[in-house]
Amino acid sequence: MADKQPPAGDNRPKLALHVPEPKYRPGDAVDYSDIDIGEPGSMSRPDETCSPDTMRDHAYGLVRVLGDDDNAAGPWDPRLSPDTLRTMMRNFAMVRAFDERMFRGQRQGKTSFYMKCTGEEATSVAAAMALAADDMVFPSYRQQGILIARGYPLVEMINQIYSNKGDKLKGRQLPIMYSSREHSFFSISGNLATQTPQAVGWAMASAIKGDSRIAATWVGEGSTAEGDFHSACTFAAVYNAPVILNVINNQWAISSFSGFAGAERTTFAARALGYGLAGLRVDGNDALACYAAQQWAANRARANGGPTLIEYFTYRAEGHSTSDDPSGYRSAQEREEWPLGDPVMRLKKHLIALGEWDEERQEAMDRECAELVKAATKEAEKNGILGHGLHHPFRTMFQDVYEDIPWHLEEQAAQAKHEREVKWPGEEPWS
């Protein structure tokens, strides 16, 4: 009798695995009506020293300043002077011109790889402008806007992209993985999210030393799934590190939509709540909101108020990189219908609405930026382009692995030198 009974638990409901699927695939019509973007100006601006547990709404809502009427509204309006807004506009124009030219350069075979930040310019340019020049930044790979906002020479950027003999990094890094200590810009790693605990460590060091400089880091929403990001949040919270954790939610991580990092369940800003971090969710295509949020977080960090996690809700308008074709995995309409528009256009229209700008000046500025980038490209090309032989002296390959070159690397360097003498007799082997 007992063995005739069904196995225990047979009457329980069958479990099913959920595999996230983006709402739209190529060819699909796009409907963004479910995204609640809220009213510009409607979100309160808490005191910078407030307790994180009062910020629930800020982690789920959206801080917005610029409205459809192109005017700034509400308590988050940073009230920037027209000159500052024009500087921001110029940084935008420069980033666009730079991306455009470098993308083409890659297609022309001058380098192996490039990554644009189109549509996300505000998350780096406006954020960088809200920091002090000597605040340390630990960016990911789509924050060229920070270097441009900090006045890093374009020629240096292009030398790096071409891995030529002018490249300060001696041709060792993938294009766009810049480093500039002088500009308080940390060396970029290709391993995602590794920079996030490092930024926290730098901020902790600054606090240990009684310094006044803070740190900020940028990470993609896809990469927040890495353990490093969660370690960073824990350490930031535990030690009240003066750090800003910027999460760029551009909806896509190569071909994986944000759902694969958990976006179907909650916002990225809401991650902050469980750690006891201040969390802000911001319209990432609203340059004024981006500036205001970063400034708020910087003030908070400087006042020992603690770390902030900011999610910038934005959209990656272009492909992931020169190696990617997004038409293979997402609807072409997504970009066109993105409900938060384009950050550069929105700022331009705002400046025009203020009576501080016009289309003619914009065109002249765009042209000027394109010319400057072109000139910088020409200048950098004198140092060589990738694969055309004008690179750093050969011996540098064995340098900087350690502070001093150990015997085994000396031996390997001698071998490399010998090989070159065999291949190219009569030439200076170390050149």
Partner 1 sequence: MIEAINDALDIMLERDPDVIVMGEDIGYFGGVFRCTAGLQEKHGKTRVFDTPISECGIIGVAVGMGAYGLRPVPEIQFADYIYPGLDQLISEAARLRYRSATEYIAPLTVRSPFGGGIFGGQTHSQSPEAIFTHVAGLKTVIPATPYDAKGLLISCIEDNDPVIFFEPKRIYNGPFSGFYDKPVEPWKRHADSVVPEGHYSIPLGKARTVTEGEQLTVLTYGTMVHVTEAVCREQGIEANILDLRTLVPLDIEAIEESVRKTGRCLIVHEATRTSGFGAELSALVTERCFYHLEAPVERVTGFDTPYPHSLEWAYFPGPVRIGEAIDKILKD
The answer to the question of residue 107 lying near partner 1 (CB under 8 A) is no
- Interaction between residue 197 and partner 1 (CB under 8 A): yes
- Under DSSP, the state recorded for 129 is H
Q: How many residues bind partner 1, per CB under 8 A?
A: 45
Rule CB under 8 A: say whether 112 interacts with partner 1. no
Query: Computed over its alpha carbons, how large is the radius of gyration of the chain?
Result: 24
Contacts of 223 (CB under 8 A, 6+ apart): 140, 192, 193, 229, 253, 261
228 lies in the binding site for ligand TPP (CB under 6 A): no
Contact string (CB under 6 A) for ligand TPP, positions 21-60, x = contact: ----------------------------------------
Q: At what angle do helices 121-130 and 82-107 cross, to 10 degrees?
A: 140
Q: Token digits for 102?
A: 């470098």
Q: Binder to partner 1 among 14, 209, 265, 423 (CB under 8 A)?
A: 209
CA–chain centroid gap for 301, Å, is 20
Taking the mean position of all CA atoms in its chain, how far away is CA 268? 15
Q: Which is nearer to partner 1, 170 or 417 (CB)?
A: 170
Minimum distance, C-beta of residue 95 to ligand TPP, in the bound complex (Å): 15
Query: Other C-beta atoms within 10 Å of 406: how many?
Result: 11
Find the shortest distance in angstroms from Cβ 362 to ligand TPP.
27
Q: Is the dihedral of CA 300, 302, 306, 309 positive or negative?
A: positive
The binding track of 117-136 with respect to partner 1, each residue x by CB under 8 A or -, is -------------------x
CB 175 within 8 A of CB 111: yes
Rounded Cα–Cα distance for residues 28 and 25 (Å)? 6
Select the binding partner of residue 222 from partner 1, ligand TPP, none (C-beta < 5 to 8 A, by kind): ligand TPP
Binding at 351: pick from ligand TPP, partner 1, none (beta carbon under 5-8 Å per type): none
Amino acid letter, 67? G
Residue that has been written with the tokens 């927040």 in this structure: 224
* Encoded tokens for 395: 């011996």
Q: Which is nearest to 203 in space by CA: 254, 237, 176, 171?
A: 237
- When binding is defined by CB under 6 A, the residue of 58, 116, 320, 346 that contacts ligand TPP is 320
Q: In the bound complex, what is the minimum distance in angstroms from residue 320's beta carbon to partner 1?
A: 21
Residue 232 contact among partner 1, ligand TPP, none, beta carbon within 5 to 8 Å by kind: partner 1
145 or 384: CB nearest ligand TPP: 145
Please identify, among the stretches 52-60, 249-257, 269-277, 347-355, the one whose residues bind ligand TPP according to the rule CB under 6 A: 249-257
Binding segment for partner 1 among 65-73, 109-117, 229-237, 321-329 (CB under 8 A)?
A: 229-237
Q: Does 253 bind ligand TPP (CB under 6 A)?
A: yes
Which residues are CB-neighbours of 285 under 8 A, at least 6 positions away?
Answer: 119, 122, 314, 315, 338, 340, 341, 342, 343, 346
Residue 176's Cβ-count burial label (10 Å; 0-12, 13-18, 19+) is buried
Whole-angstrom distance, CA of residue 243 vs CA of residue 310: 11
- Which amino acid belongs to residue 30? V
List the single partner that 312 binds among ligand TPP, partner 1, none, CB under 5 to 8 Å by kind.
Answer: none
Q: Cα torsion at 179, 184, 190, 194 (round to 10°)?
A: 150
Contact 126, 91 (CB under 8 A): no
181 near partner 1, judged by CB under 8 A:
yes
Residue selected from 42, 71, 112, 179 as contacting partner 1 according to rule CB under 8 A: 179
Q: Which does 221 bind (CB under 5 to 8 A by kind): partner 1, ligand TPP, none?
A: ligand TPP
The residue among 177 and 365 lying less far from ligand TPP, judged by its C-beta, is 177
Contact status: 254 vs ligand TPP (CB under 6 A): yes
State the sign of the Cα–Cα–Cα–Cα dihedral 308, 309, 315, 318. positive
Site for ligand TPP in 181-220 (CB under 6 A): 190-192, 220
Report in angstroms how near the CB of residue 400 gets to partner 1 at its nearest.
Answer: 5
The contact set with partner 1 (CB under 8 A) reads 136, 138, 168-170, 172-173, 177, 179-181, 186-187, 189, 191, 194, 196-209, 215, 227-228, 231-232, 234-235, 238, 400-403, 406-408
The contact set with ligand TPP (CB under 6 A) reads 142, 190-192, 220-223, 248, 250, 252-254, 316, 320
